Structure 1
Amino acid sequence: MAKMGRPKVDKPADKKVTVRFTEEEHELLIEYTTKHDLTMTQVVKLAVMEKLMADQQ
């Protein structure tokens, strides 16, 4: 019988990072996610990758 469940991915996102925000920073993040129809995770990942790529140039 075949295994049930979610299929395995090539590069699992299994690393976790915790970030603390002030109330004002959190509100700005919520406003941005709502305006751009993104999740908080997507916004944080995009911002980090953008910064990392800019520093490489």
Structure 2
Amino acid sequence: MDRQVASYGARAVLHTLREAASAKEYGDSVDQLPAEFWQLTGPGSGRLETRRVGT
């Protein structure tokens, strides 16, 4: 699987989690992910955004 397909799939999972969980549950879950995933947690604009732990 290439990086673009993997990024799309991971972003879809995170988007679904964001819709299904409360803001606190989502934040707590994402804060436990390795730094490589932080950039996938930004808005679904297609643009990657860096996310810091605890924000």
TM-score calculated relative to the size of structure 1: 0.34
Which structure is larger by alpha-carbon Rg, 1 or 2?
A: 1
Higher helix share: 2
TM-score calculated relative to the size of structure 2: 0.35
Higher-RCO chain (CA-CA 8 Å, sequence separation at least 6): 2
